[in-house]
């Protein structure tokens, strides 16, 4: 299977041999019984069988196989949230005194994890300018074990040259971990460009319906095995029911993402031309400073964009409050269009100084573009932006 829509529907959807059910069952169980004591040890080591759903579960494993195939990985680990996937994966590869190198433009939760939490446990961290590969190379130390990036970034929609970032990390003996949530596996596959671990908030585009919280980490067999062992200890595995719901959501992922790509480009082009908009961040625009890089490493430009209102913070607040089709809400990647202002919602963990360094002004609005008709979205943004007097 090579087509995205075909794979969305059929990848890892094996037949239920017992009943013939077209839809796979949900194994909503805490534990598993054994007929013989000799079956226990192979299940504990992960060779075959299941012991306890904090370790592994058939429904969760089905999701892991599906996303691993989409991201060209050998395995995956599912988590109760995107942040559980990020934090557990980072901790997996660190020992006391190790150094983590990351870009500055990150989701607020990841930023605070790196800036505040890791140093409390004896890890050193450095954040460098996102688009400056020379700064990334200079930031490497002898004890660097993890290089952590997003591409596109949240909420500034900057890109990291994934292949070159991987070269920098590997030259230092470090692993490259990348959050691929904004891009989705439909638009970008970082493992094929040298990344070691691909992370997703499956809450977002993978599920697509804003009705659950989940996370995923994808990599090669040995890397994922290490992450899963850490997951056992931290206890952040995904429950079978939301795993089943993500599986259901992925069946329409290719269709949804294609529509979101098209809608985001149409909305971005409209916003660029509007007098009440000072700046638009979207890699599908030729004016985006990394448009050529986007064309090189992405198959589609994604459903996320951000723009700065030409006016005051109150003007920006008015815009988000006056939309009729789009909703003011946290999260992203669903079928409905959502807007938020990072300074008072998604990036409150960052200080005003840190947000300024990351090009996140208070007038910035992040847009998660849904699958509505593009004409209705443009009309909605036009009616609210037209009330602003630059």
Q: How many CB atoms lie within 10 A of CB 21?
A: 10
**Residue 196 a catalytic site member:** no
CA angle centred on 328, ends 244 and 335, rounded to 5°: 35
17 part of the active site: no
Any catalytic annotation for residue 107?
Answer: yes
What secondary structure does DSSP assign to 333-368, as a single string? -SSS-EEE-GGGTTTTTS-HHHHHHTT--TTEEEEE
- Could you say which of 52, 54, 248, 279 is catalytic? 54
CA distance 42 to 322: 58
Cis peptide before 175 (omega within 30 of 0): no
Query: Are 221 and 75 contacting, i.e. CB atoms less than 8 angstroms apart?
Result: yes
Question: Does the active-site annotation cover 116?
Answer: no
Token look-up 């079956």 returns: 39
Compute the chain's Rg from CA coordinates: 21
User: CA angle, 87 as apex, 370 and 185 as ends, to 5°?
Assistant: 35
Longest alpha-carbon distance in the chain: 76
Cβ atoms of 6 and 251 within 8 Å: the answer is no
Which entry of 56, 105, 179, 362 is annotated as an active-site residue? Answer: 179
Residue tagged active-site, from 62, 66, 158, 204: 204
Out of 27, 50, 107, 148, the active site residue is: 107
% helix, strand, coil for the chain, step of 5 = 40, 15, 45
Establish how many alpha carbons lie within 13 A of residue 203's alpha carbon, considering only the half-sphere containing its beta carbon: 16
Q: Which residues are catalytic?
A: 54, 107, 179, 204
């Amino acid at each position: 299977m090579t087509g995205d829509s075909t794979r969305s529907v059929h990848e890892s959807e094996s037949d239920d041999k017992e009943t013939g059910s077209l839809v796979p069952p949900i194994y909503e169980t805490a534990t598993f019984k054994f007929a013989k004591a000799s079956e226990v040890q192979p299940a504990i080591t992960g060779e075959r069988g299941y012991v306890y759903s904090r370790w592994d579960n058939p429904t969760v494993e089905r999701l892991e196989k599906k996303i691993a195939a989409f991201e060209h990985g050998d395995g995956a680990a599912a988590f109760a949230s995107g942040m559980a996937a990020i934090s557990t994966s980072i901790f997996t590869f660190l020992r006391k005194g190790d150094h983590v190198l990351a870009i500055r433009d990150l989701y607020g939760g990841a930023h605070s994890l790196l800036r505040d939490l890791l140093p409390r446990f004896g890890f050193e961290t450095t954040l460098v300018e996102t688009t400056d590969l020379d700064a990334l190379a200079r930031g490497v130390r002898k004890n660097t074990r993890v290089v952590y990036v997003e591409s596109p970034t949240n909420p500034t929609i900057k890109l990291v040259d994934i292949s070159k970032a991987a070269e920098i990390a590997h030259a230092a003996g470090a692993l490259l971990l990348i959050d691929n949530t904004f891009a989705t596996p439909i638009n970008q596959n970082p493992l094929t460009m040298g990344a070691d671990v691909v992370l997703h908030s499956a809450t977002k585009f993978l599920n697509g319906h804003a009705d659950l919280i989940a996370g995923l980490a994808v990599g090669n067999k040995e890397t994922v095995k290490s992450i899963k062992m850490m997951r056992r200890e931290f206890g952040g595995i995904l429950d079978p029911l939301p795993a089943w719901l993500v599986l259901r959501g992925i069946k329409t992922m290719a269709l949804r993402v294609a529509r979101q790509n098209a809608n985001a480009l149409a909305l971005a082009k409209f916003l660029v031309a509007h007098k009440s908009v000072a700046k638009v961040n979207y890699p599908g625009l030729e004016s985006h400073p990394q448009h050529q890089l986007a064309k090189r490493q992405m198959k589609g430009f994604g459903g996320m964009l951000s723009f700065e209102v030409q006016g005051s913070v109150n003007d920006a607040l008015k815009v988000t409050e006056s939309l009729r089709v789009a909703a003011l809400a946290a999260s992203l990647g669903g079928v409905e269009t959502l807007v938020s202002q990072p300074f008072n919602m998604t990036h409150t963990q960052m200080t005003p100084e840190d947000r300024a360094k990351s090009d996140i002004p208070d007038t910035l609005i992040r847009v998660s573009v849904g699958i509505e008709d593009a004409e209705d979205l443009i009309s909605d943004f036009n009616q609210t932006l037209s009330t602003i007097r630059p």
